[in-house]
Structure formats: structure tokens, C-alpha cells
Amino acid sequence: MEKPFYKGFKIGVLGGGQLGRMLLQKSYSYNLEMAFVDPDPKAPCREISNWFYKGDLNDFQMVYDFGKKCDVVSIEIENVNVDALTKLEKEGVKVFPQPAALKTIQDKGLQKLFYQKNNINTSEFFLIENKNEISLFADKFPVIQKLRKGGYDGKGVQILKNVNDLDKAFDAPSVLERLVNIKKEISVIAARAQDGSVTAYPPVEMEFNPEANLVEFLFSPADISKEVEKHAMQLAKDIIAKLDMVGILAVEMFVTPENEVVVNEVAPRPHNSGHQTIEGNETSQYDQLLRAISDGGFTQSERRQLALEGFRKTAEYDLAIATWLSQSESHELPDWFGHIWSRKSSLRYGENPHQSAAFYRDIEAPTGSLAHYKQLQGKELSFNNIADADAAWECVKSISDSEAACVIIKHANPCGVAIASTALESYLKALQTDPTSAFGGIIALNRECDEACAQAIAKQFVEVLIAPHFSESAKAIFASKQNVRLLEIPLGESVSSLAQYDLKRVGGGLLVQSSDSKNVLPSELKVVTKRQPTPTELTDLMFAWRVAKFVKSNAIVYCANGMTLGVGAGQMSRIDSARIASIKAEHAGLSLKGSAVASDAFFPFRDGLDVVVAAGAKSVIQPGGSMRDEEVIAAANEHGIAMVFTSTRHFRH
């Protein structure tokens, strides 16, 4: 039964100190029933609260039993038993801040990793397990050592100036932070409601007592520029949103002499830097906290969502077990196949306007996959945008690790691929292959898109531009072209086991196969002609083969000097693909003389080989394996070209 906050709605708070007392005093305005628990029997909240309990905040049973008496549980101090809060949350008690966010914040190491993962500017840091590991970072001194857990109000924090300070170092899991050149220390209080709405107070400037390492003076407003103020407030709102936290969050920050804002730490509770909100703002931090956590019991919509989450988790668990049990030692693929995806975004329509569509993310999407994209600007992605973006991204990642690479995709096929020393050079080379088809295409880079590259790309119409990172100057260039979708995706390293399958829906069924992750190495090639390929030809052949893997069958790709010269894709006849590729090269003003050519599957007859040689190819890479291989090899020797077999084909339908 739903219980509005004004009808016996009980809020429990872990901690009954000074901050809790201020929260309690504000609760009188809302006619809320408040209960507190604190290890100190003389805690400030004891005399004026509805209920007060003495107890250890880190004792699982104590916290759990206390929470079961309440409709909502919150905190006045973050050093509490998270496991008990997690259990309470699972059993339907609302816990704010949520245990997941609290767990991250309690551990300063996890907190730092959270900033790193979410591209939040923080000081350079290193995680250590004991004091013996500190010497590994001797070249980083001076550093701040912070205990990962248990530190509070300046405790568990110290400066290590040099290796001579190792004797006083904490011998426990810690964070080592590089010292930041600080001009000012500021704090921003952000508040977030259960509906996701977020607000923030203007920053206050903090001055610390050097001996106690506690805030001694607050200055409001902070003596900072409007730009820094705006940035700091937005940063605080972004952090509480990315934590998916309900309640209030104090974000402590450093401002450098260059006016760079660096996040230090956060506190998920009332904060002494927020005392000025009591009289200095229309609402205090205590108002915001109470409003955020006491918006009534669960609505019907909330109940439905909670039920969905419960059954979804159960389904994921059951599905994982069933899938694992269905695997057998004698079969590469399981006898029974099931998987769960979660919706990342709804799409305006599918391939055509009359088709509905959405983009679903693998629950364990591997790092570096398209599902991890961060859209920096541009209108929403379409069904075809996402499909082509995936083709572009997977292709550019496989082309080269040592050089900058660019892939231009149109209708799921590469129309230009190149490698070079810089992102700009690779783009200009890729564009040469087929500038006509590149119009309105998808472009992917495996290096940062810098200012020079952005200026060049901005001259043409592009639907989507993908890169591991965009420089600030590059972002500024595209800011005037808001229809261009900019996607940042980490390159990633490995593919998880759950992502090793390619799926294709057919009528009444599902085709499942392992992903085509095979990359042929030069050592695996077999030269089948009298003439050996030169080192330059071998390099061109390997490049052409990598590209052909991502071209729709039947695929013919001409390459030279680290770029595609002509691409023939998706034809019913391999001969037609070869002719189309040469026609495109001619239209682009590119010569095929001396080029390397790749065919994704074997030449079934010599006629296909005759066509590519007539176009100018001097070396050929193909899988081999045809009944007429000898006929094709004889034709290659007749033409005086080099030909190698890969013994691997790359059909792409």
C-alpha cells in the first residue's frame, strides 16, 4: 500500500551528529517522523528526535533491523554497513543514497576509478596494496596518500614528500595522488530527486585549518570567474547523475592557477560546506535532501518498474545457468541458445519509415564495441547510422595498430580505407578512393580527431564521425555543424565470450555463428606462383586483405601504398565486382598499375583473374581452394604476377 510522506512516513538516518540535528530541525517544517541511530548515546540528535537508537553503524544486523522499521533510510555519515543497506533495498526499503553509489564513494580507489571511467577531471593517481609498493612511484613524489577506506575528516590522509617519508606511510590499501597546484578549494552541493531532476548550489570557497585539516572558513560567493562557477556546478550535477544517486552530494574541487577544475572527493550527505545554504539560499541543503528522499511511497508505475527489474534479474540469472548447462564438450556452440539485451535507445524508425526500431545493448558489451559510444553532438542516430557505424568502427580497429587509419563507409561497405602517419593524412588518402560515395557517409578514425583532421572532414557532408577522442578544437569546429553526429568510443582490447557470436534472424529461427575474428598473418600466406611478391607488394596485399574482410561479397579490393584504389562490393558475379572496382578507380583518377588486389573468396575461373590483371594488378591475394586452382595459378604465371593463398575466406552477406 502506498504511504504518502505526511501519513506516518518514517525516515531513518544512520548517524545522529551535528549534520543530522540540522536535518532533523528542518524536518519539522515537513511534519516528518525521523529516527536516528548513532554509536554515541549523547549524540546531538538524541534529545529532539522521535526515535533514537544507540548502535554500531557498521554492524550488519543493527543497520538492517533499524532499516526494517523505516520507509526510507538515509545517512548522515558515509561510514556505514553497505551490505545491510543493499539487502534492505532488495527487500523494498528505499535507501538514499543508493548502496551502489555509496559503495563507490566509501572506497577512495573505486571513487577515483569512477572519475577516470567517466572522463571526470581528477588528479593523477595510483592504487597500492601496501607501503612497500610506494617506492615504485618514487619519481612521482611528492604525493598524497589516502587510505582507500575508513578515512574521514582529515584522518587517513597524509603528504609523502620524498622516499624518506616511507616510514610514516600507511601500510594498507591506499590511493597515491599527485599534488595539484591549487589556487582555491571550492565545494558544490548538488541535489537529485527520484525523478532524475538535478540542481546545484553556487560554489563556496573553503579555507582549511592546516593542523586539523578541517574547514575553518567558508567564503560565499567563491572568488572565482563565472565560467569556473558554471563549470563547477555542471560538473557536480554530472557526477550525481552518473552515480545515479538520489539525495545530496557535496563535490570538493580544486581550482588551479590556470582555472582548471579538478575533482578531489565527494560526500553523499549533508556537508559542512553547505552550512551557508541555511540562510544564504532560498532552500537549504537539508530542504533538498528531505524533498528528494520523501516524495511518498511507491506509485503504481514504480511498483511495475520494480517488478520488471526483479523478474529481469531473475531471468538473467536463470538464462546464464541454462546457457552454461547447455554447452557440451563435443559442440562449439551450445545446444540451447539464449541471451538478454537491454534497450540503449529508441530510434525514430528502422531501415524504412514504416518500420519501428530500437538499439539494444549487450548486457556484457565488450570494451571498444559500438555499444559503448558516447555521442558528443548531433541529432539522434538512425537504424542505418548505427549499422554503418558498427561496420566502420570494426573495420578501422582491425586495419592497423601502429599507424593512423581511416575508414569511410557507405551502405555498410567501405568506399575508402587508408593508413598514414596522422589522422588527417589517412582521411585524405581514404577520401581519394571514392569521393562521390563518401558524400553523406560514415567516417571512423583509430586516432584522435585533432583540429587539422576536423577542418578537412568538415568540408564535406558526413552523417557520423567516430574516433577514440576529439580534441577541444575539433569539437569547436563541428559545433557549427550540429547535424554531424560525433561519437567517442574507446578502442578496447578484447572481446568477451558473450560477444563472440554473430546473430541473424530468419523466419521462425535464429542463425548463430562465432564472430569472424580471424586475421591472417604474413607467416600463414602461401605463395603459389613462380614470382614471389616483393616486400612492398606483400604489405599492400595484407592491407587489401584486411579491407576485403569488411566488404560485402562478392568483394574485390585494389590497394597500393596504404590506401584503397577501387572497391567492388556485393555483386552476384566476382567479375562484375572487379569491373566496378576498376571503373570507380578510373572515375577517381587513380591508376591501378602495379596494384595489389584482394578477393574475399577464391576465383572459380581464370576469367576473374584476367580482369584484375588487365586493370593493372601485379599481385593477388585470395583464399584458394577452388577445383580450378591450377588453372588460375597457371593464368597468374602466364601474366607474370605474384599470387598468394590465405586458406581463409571472408564471406560477408
| Residue ranges of E strands in 65-117 | 72-75, 94-95
Residues 629-639, mean pLDDT to the nearest whole number? 93
> Looking at residue 229, what is its pLDDT?
95
> Looking at residue 41, what is its pLDDT?
92
Q: For 379-409, how does the pLDDT look when each residue is reduced to its tens digit (9 = 90+)?
A: 888 899 999 999 999 999 989 888 999 999 9
Q: H helices of 506-605, where?
A: 535-548, 574-587
Residues 93-106, mean pLDDT to the nearest whole number? 95
| Pairing label, strands 563-568, 143-147 | unpaired
pLDDT band of residue 496 (cuts 50, 70, 90) is very low
Among the residue ranges 424-428, 431-435, 465-469, 488-492, the one predicted with the least confidence is 488-492
Percent of the chain exceeding pLDDT 70 equals 95
- In angstroms, the CA 369 to CA 365 distance is 7
Average pLDDT score over the chain: 88
Radius of gyration of the chain (CA): 31
What is the pTM for the complete model shown? 0.54
108 neighbors 79 (Cβ within 8 angstroms) = no
Q: At what angle do helices 606-615 and 629-639 cross, to 10 degrees?
A: 20
Burial pattern 592-611, b for ≥16 Cβ within 10 A else e, equals beebbbbbbbbbeebebbbb
| Residue ranges of E strands in 387-471 | 404-410, 413-420, 441-445, 462-467
Provide the 3-class DSSP secondary structure of residue 570.
coil
Q: At what angle do helices 535-548 and 383-399 cross, to 10 degrees?
A: 160
Model confidence at 349: pLDDT above 90: no
Residues 630-652, mean pLDDT to the nearest whole number? 91
Model confidence at 302: pLDDT above 60: no
- In angstroms, the CA 356 to CA 261 distance is 43
Model confidence at 346: pLDDT above 90: no
Most confident of 56-70, 326-340, 485-499, 571-585: 56-70
> Looking at residue 625, what is its pLDDT?
87
Q: Which residues pair with 599 in a beta bridge?
A: 556
277 neighbors 283 (Cβ within 8 angstroms) = yes
- In angstroms, the CA 191 to CA 289 distance is 7
All three cell numbers of 243, joined, read 552515480
Residues 199-209, mean pLDDT to the nearest whole number? 89
